[in-house]
Amino acid sequence: MNTPSRQTRRAEKAWVLAAIRRIEADFQRSSDTHLIPLPLPGFPGVDLYLKDESSHPTGSLKHRLARSLFLYALCNGWLREGSTVVEASSGSTAVSEAYFARLVGLPSPASSACRFSP
Q: What is the pLDDT of residues 41-61, one digit of tens each?
A: 999 999 999 988 888 888 888
Percent over 70 (pLDDT), the chain: 90
What are 56-87's pLDDT values in tens digits? 888 888 999 999 999 999 999 999 999 999 88
Q: How far apart are CA 18 and CA 26, in angstroms?
A: 12
Q: How is 10-56 classified by DSSP, letter by letter?
A: HHHHHHHHHHHHHHHHHHHHSPPPEEEEE--TTSTT--EEEEEGGGS
Cα–Cα distance list, 56 to 42, 78, 99 (Å): 32, 25, 11
